[in-house]
């Protein structure tokens, strides 16, 4: 990736999206307010971001930033999301301690290899 202002803006937007989804609890974040099943709204967001990309008053960093968001909206509008899908809760992102029954042991591995 070349070190241009446009690329820096694009990367920063992607990194911000990643951090926003990773935190998954910020009520002010754009992602937490979006309805991923509402294609009309996603198309509207994409059009709005593309207007910023075409605006010559914005610098290259900003145009790259808004391009990443426009691309994200394009991808999200094409993804089919099941009706019963729910957003993961912050607790489900935390790995749980495995049960002892679920864990492999060296003894069970050696038994499988011997058979």
pLDDT score, position 111: 66
pLDDT score, position 106: 61
Q: Is the pLDDT of residue 47 over 80?
A: yes
Residue 90 lies in a domain: no
Share of the chain above pLDDT 90, in %: 39
Number of domains in the chain: 1
0.85 exceeded by the pTM? no
Residue 92 lies in a domain: no
> In this structure, what token pair is assigned to residue 52?
């910023």
Q: Is the pLDDT of residue 62 over 50?
A: yes
Burial classification of residue 68, based on how many CB atoms lie within 10 Å of its CB (0-12 exposed, 13-18 middle, 19 or more buried): buried
Q: Is the pLDDT of residue 97 over 80?
A: no
Question: Whole domain around residue 58: which residue ranges?
Answer: 1-83
- Give the mean pLDDT of 26-43: 80
Residue 16 lies in a domain: yes
Sequence-distant (6+) residues with CB within 8 A of 65 are: 9, 10, 12, 13
pLDDT score, position 91: 45
Residue 98 lies in a domain: no
Residue 76 lies in a domain: yes
Residue 103 lies in a domain: no
pLDDT score, position 42: 92
């Amino acid at each position: 990736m070349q070190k241009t202002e446009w690329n820096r803006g694009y990367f920063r937007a992607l990194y911000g999206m990643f951090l926003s989804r990773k935190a998954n609890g910020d009520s002010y974040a754009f992602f937490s307010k979006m309805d991923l099943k509402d294609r009309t709204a996603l198309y509207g967001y994409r059009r709005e971001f593309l207007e910023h990309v075409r605006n010559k008053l914005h610098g290259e960093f900003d145009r790259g930033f808004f391009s990443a968001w426009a691309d994200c909206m394009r991808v999200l509008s094409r993804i089919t999301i099941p009706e019963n899908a729910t957003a993961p809760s912050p607790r489900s992102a935390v790995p749980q301690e495995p049960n002892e029954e679920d864990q492999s042991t060296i003894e069970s591995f050696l038994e499988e290899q011997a058979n």
